[in-house]
Amino acid sequence: MTRQVIPHDVMGTGSERALLLHNWFGDRSSFDPMREYSNGDAFSYAFLDCRGYGEAIDADGAFTMDEVAGDALAVADHLGWESFSVIGHSTGADAA
């Protein structure tokens, strides 16, 4: 499994952390409607673009659930997150 730090953005500064994996044919903007309702004081959220979508549209890969999970772990490592929750929508839930 090839791990790379895929495009993502972080919102919030809280000590509770969550990686968010989007739906099939979506990208991290799929979560935009919930951002204004999210508690950035209590939580830190990392919104990811899976390979083949969003800013990762041209990323090479096998495009498997294992690869999505590995890429999510690479982002968590990059952010220095040793513990976190995972939130997935649709296909993102399969990888979660």
Query: Any idea what the Cα angle at residue 92 is, between residues 47 and 57, rounded to 5°?
Result: 65
| Average pLDDT for 6-31 | 97
Short-list 40, 94, 33, CA closest to 69: 94
Q: Which domains does the chain have, with CATH numbers?
A: 8-95 (3.40.50.1820)
- d(CA 86, CA 17) in angstroms, rounded, equals 9
pLDDT the model gives residue 4: 77
Supply the pTM of this predicted model.
Answer: 0.92
Instruction: Note the pLDDT tens digit of each residue in 79-95.
Output: 999 999 999 999 999 99
pLDDT the model gives residue 8: 98
- d(CA 9, CA 49) in angstroms, rounded, equals 9
Instruction: Note the pLDDT tens digit of each residue in 20-75.
Output: 999 999 999 999 999 999 999 999 999 999 999 999 999 999 999 999 999 999 99
